[in-house]
Amino acid sequence: MRAMAVRRRAGALDLGTYLRLTRGVTVSIAYLLPLLAAYEVGVQWSGSDLRNSAELSLKTAAGISGTLGPWIQRAVLLGVLVVAIRLARRNVPALRLYPVFLLEAVLFALLLGPAAAALVDSVGLSAPAPTAAASVPSTTQRLLLSIGAGVYEELVFRFLLLAGGFTLLHRVLGFRRGPSLGCAVAVSALLFSGYHHLGPGAEPFTAPVFAFRAAAGLALGILFTWRGLALCAYLHAFYDMLCDLTHSGAAP
């Protein structure tokens, strides 16, 4: 009876344990696998030539382009799969927590728009009016663009710029932790918003839309510091899908 009670307590997962496990780097990378694989496989299967600009910039910088690009991408996916297998062998209850993690991402996706709009309204600007969905040929391509934005924009703006900026300010330059983190979150949010208005075919600049995306970037940055990369990627993808389905507001 005592052994059974010990096993029952070991198998139980409270909120604190769930938050700690799902925020960890290994679990976060493992959770990115289905989203990343769905996007890369979907793009190859559909033959779509539409790409997120953050994806193109990241892959070009990493050398994952040209004739060797598809093979390098497959190697990356294989590497993430190895991480997931190692995670399973370590008996971390990632698979058991994954449905709860997805539910958490959906709930935050539902809250992101109202929270960003409230922040925009608080500074005297009107939240963006509902806009029509982008002129994309098919539902499959719109879905892939939403997933791609979730994965690659979060990799660029939260993982590279926010985490990298914080590391530079705090660990390299020696600034205090709080100001370094606040500066990294704010700058990454502004860059995240501004990049949507740059380049060919970019959205025309308006102050309310820029402010809305900056507010969304702040929210995503705060969540990144608290819950990690995977949650932000799923949240971002789900939110973009929601915007596409309802045609409500500007998608981050």
The yes-or-no verdict on residue 73 having pLDDT over 60 is yes
DSSP 251: -
> Is residue 13 a part of any domain in this protein?
no
> Is residue 210 a part of any domain in this protein?
yes
List the alpha helices (DSSP H) in the chain: 2-11, 15-23, 25-46, 53-62, 69-89, 94-122, 139-148, 154, 164-166, 177-195, 207-227, 229-246
CB of 116 closer than 8 Å to CB of 215:
yes
How many domains does the structure of the chain reveal?
1
pLDDT band of residue 151 (cuts 50, 70, 90) is: very high
> Is residue 11 a part of any domain in this protein?
no
Instruction: Quickly tell me which residue has 């998608």 as its tokens.
Output: 251
> Is residue 87 a part of any domain in this protein?
yes
> Is residue 15 a part of any domain in this protein?
no
> Is residue 12 a part of any domain in this protein?
no
> Is residue 4 a part of any domain in this protein?
no
The per-residue pLDDT for 156 is 92
> Is residue 48 a part of any domain in this protein?
yes
DSSP 90: T
Range(s) of the domain holding residue 199 = 24-246
pLDDT band of residue 10 (cuts 50, 70, 90) is: very low
Whole-angstrom distance, CA of residue 216 vs CA of residue 177: 23
